[in-house]
Structure 1
Amino acid sequence: MTVTTALNVPELLDGACAKTGLSDFGDDWFREPLDVLVRSLNTEAALSPLGFELTRHRLTALLADRLRLRELQRSNPEVLDVEVRVAAEICGLPRTGSTLLHRLLAASPQVTSTLSWEVAYPLPFPGEGPDAEQRKHRAQERMQMFSQLSPDFGDLHTVVWDGPEEDVILLDRTFVSMSFDSFYWVPAYGDWLRSADQRPAYRELREWLQVLQWQNTSRSMPWVLKSPHHLTAVDTVLDEFADCKIVMTHRSPVNAVPSYASMVRAMSSQYSENVDPVRIGRYWSRRFATTLEGFASARSARPERFVDVRFADTVSKPLEVARQVLETLGLPAGPADDAAFEAYLTQNRTERHGSHSYAPSDFGLSEDQLRRDFAFYSEVYL
């Protein structure tokens, strides 16, 4: 089912201004990605009535956060002087063990990471104290609603409202984010994203990290971040964050691609009643093949900035892998790290891990075709 009402960029901008009482969006570079996204949503996404309302609300909220960010920087100019150090961006195809590795490393007292509640609500609410009680409560409510809208998602990806989460959700506010073509059928936006200059978006990612550090002055440790989105902008990540290493998680695309297609199907069904699993599978198979080809080129130019981790090792010997990665980041693990890793693994075993069955053929794919299409990658890294 489609809707006759279309998203309208001027109305979204006006709605954000009305919501906040603010009008300064700062540099308007973000208008291009927003315009491309909205055009693709209107012409390709086949939003349901509920999907349309959820999307309109979401885009307005993201724009409102842009306004609030500029106001916070204007009122507190010292925010722009906060030093941000990113030790690592964990990348890799989705479903390659990157979430387990990220949450494990984030447990180390030597590093910090973006948390689920704060990427959802990175700016203090009016009158809110340093404990961020209102935002944490809102994040819990939001997660409950998400679980109701997409009940199968928890079987694919354990979400913890106060646990480490992908920094790409901060990038959503730039409208340069893999989130959008994961939640919606917007292939024209996806084409644009993978050819765009993402440097302005990553400069803003640094600004969001500054805001998070500024709210907690004891948070001066280097960041360990994670998202497969960063595979679309490897050179930009390395240029913007001079000390950052790319921690690349590796798993056979024969497993990873259908697994992610299954996740996209679960997520996008919230917004559209016209979800085609075959179309999704073929789209992401092409996308990831192209992305990995670009990754190989970027890596060959700066091999010393990359660390390889294999999915089987992360699953079979997580403590050893976590210690090795910290060592490569110049942060050798000690007793406190080991204790934190053990505590997280104990917690992880108690979190929900449902079973979810799917096959490549569910998404118009075959194991033989995936092996052929990704042979250039598998022969080197697996």
Structure 2
Amino acid sequence: MTVTTELDVSELLDMACAKTGLTDFGDDWFREPLGALVRSLNTEAALSSTGLELTKHRLTALLADRLRLWEFQRATPSVLGVEVQVAAEICGLPRTGSTLLHRLLAASPQVTSTLSWEVAYPLPFPGEGPDAEPRKRRARERMRMFSQLSPDFGDLHTVVWDGPEEDVLLLDRTFVSMSFDSFYRVPSYGDWLRSADQRPAYRELREWLQVLQWQNPARSLPWVLKSPHHLTAVDTVLDEFPSCKIVMTHRSPVSAVPSYASMVRAMSSQYSSRVDPVHIGRYWSRRFATTLRDFASARAARPGRFVDVRFTDTVATPLEVARQVLGALGLTAGPADDAAFETYLERNRAERHGTHSYAPEDFGLSEEQLRRDFAFYTEVYL
């Protein structure tokens, strides 16, 4: 029996078809990003044997969901008529308070957001009831497995199976996603991603939101979404979602960049035993500097579509910040919103645990270099 030591696109496609009993992937545009990702994984990621099997399973599952989405749309054409309104995409560098702000805003009864269990399993399982309990149970099991594989991750980022989660996990199914170079050392894929036309991926993101909204018509509320990935495609986001505003969270890159490098080190160690923290630090420092320069250009073209939030304000006065952001989105915060915000803040205090220690030098960086490289950003926004 031949042991596979690398990923193969044709094998992944065949495995997804065998898993689902389906063969129609719809528009083939996704094959280019999938091919770029697989080439980079095979040549750069230094996957361990466990990492290879986990990655093969992950990519097969994402492809299976593409097959299921196409079949779901064919069998339920009314889903394509669902009107999706995105009120906000919360962006900013990772580790800038965007998660706290997202989960606060998502608590408002005036908006909706993607939840952790449904970005993991967005399509109904056969025969499940309206409570989606089989998917929720699977999500809880998946969360437990992730915690075992990366026991320190909860100290960096609190993950709750039924709480708000980044919509970039839906974009994973397009293979156009910052998730991949966060979990793996795939710099050539990262280069491809920065130069790619992401419009097909965002059209599919809308389709996934249609699927989620169709499953619960009472949820026809403005979406408040969040991911730093969207900084790589600001113009595309604003074009695809005309009512959307970019809520930009700001924190000094001197803190944000090494903090994210620490998170990437924890995530990528699941897949490779040869994790290089210096590579991680320098890769993300360069990438974020480029991303923020591009962001400044996009913002200058459409300044009315942006809302600024500073990390220090989010931490110091979270309820006030949440009320202000809702107002900037055209929604007036009332007593029900305040009560929901307070409830979430109490839950957040209970969920937080552990400490997160890091230093720029751990990742081949220095405070002086970070201040110099990001001076163009800090002088304007901080």
- C-alpha separation between the residues in 1 aligned to 2:236 and 2:107? 27
**Secondary structure of residue in 2 paired with 1:94:** coil
Q: Tell me the percent identity.
A: 86
For 1:335, the aligned partner's letter is P
Matched, 1:307 2:307: yes
Aligned twin of 1:76: 76
Please, which runs of 5 or more residues in structure 1 have no aligned partner?
none
Matched, 1:239 2:239: yes
- C-alpha separation between the residues in 2 aligned to 1:332 and 1:228? 26
Count of paired positions: 380
Aligned twin of 1:269: 269
- Aligned-residue RMSD, C-alpha: 0.7
Q: Give per-residue Cα distances to partners, 1:318-350, cap 9 Å, x unaligned.
A: 010000000000001011000000100011110
**Secondary structure of residue in 2 paired with 1:218:** helix
- How many angstroms does 1:352 deviate by? 2.7
- C-alpha separation between the residues in 2 aligned to 1:280 and 1:287? 11
**Secondary structure of residue in 1 paired with 2:123:** coil
Aligned twin of 1:14: 14
Q: Give per-residue Cα distances to partners, 1:279-330, cap 9 Å, x unaligned.
A: 1000000000000000000000000000000000000000100000000000
Aligned twin of 1:181: 181
- C-alpha separation between the residues in 2 aligned to 1:284 and 1:146? 24
Aligned twin of 1:291: 291
Where in structure 2 are the equivalents of 1:191-230 lying within 5 Å?
A: 191-230=191-230
Moved more, 347-356 or 106-115: 347-356
Q: Give per-residue Cα distances to partners, 1:262-293, cap 9 Å, x unaligned.
A: 00000000000000000100000000000000
**Secondary structure of residue in 1 paired with 2:219:** coil
Moved more, 349-358 or 38-47: 349-358
- How many angstroms does 1:10 deviate by? 0.4
- C-alpha separation between the residues in 1 aligned to 2:22 and 2:130? 23
Aligned twin of 1:130: 130
- How many angstroms does 1:4 deviate by? 6.5
- C-alpha separation between the residues in 2 aligned to 1:375 and 1:141? 44
- How many angstroms does 1:356 deviate by? 1.7
- C-alpha separation between the residues in 1 aligned to 2:349 and 2:154? 14
- C-alpha separation between the residues in 2 aligned to 1:135 and 1:95? 29
TM-score by length of 2: 0.99
Please, which runs of 5 or more residues in structure 2 have no aligned partner?
none
- How many angstroms does 1:221 deviate by? 0.4
Q: Give per-residue Cα distances to partners, 1:236-266, cap 9 Å, x unaligned.
A: 0000000000000000000000000000000
- How many angstroms does 1:353 deviate by? 2.6
- C-alpha separation between the residues in 2 aligned to 1:129 and 1:203? 29
**Secondary structure of residue in 2 paired with 1:126:** coil
**Secondary structure of residue in 2 paired with 1:88:** strand
**Secondary structure of residue in 2 paired with 1:225:** strand
- How many angstroms does 1:358 deviate by? 1.0
- C-alpha separation between the residues in 2 aligned to 1:97 and 1:354? 17
- How many angstroms does 1:357 deviate by? 1.1
Aligned twin of 1:25: 25
- C-alpha separation between the residues in 1 aligned to 2:152 and 2:294? 32
For 1:180, the aligned partner's letter is F
Where in structure 2 are the equivalents of 1:112-191 lying within 5 Å?
A: 112-191=112-191
Matched, 1:108 2:108: yes
Q: Give per-residue Cα distances to partners, 1:167-193, cap 9 Å, x unaligned.
A: 000000000000000000000000000
- C-alpha separation between the residues in 2 aligned to 1:167 and 1:288? 20
For 2:233, the aligned partner's letter is A
Please list every run of at least 4 consecutive aligned residues from structure 1 whose deviation after the TM superposition is greater than 4 angstroms.
none
- C-alpha separation between the residues in 2 aligned to 1:304 and 1:285? 28
**Secondary structure of residue in 2 paired with 1:90:** strand
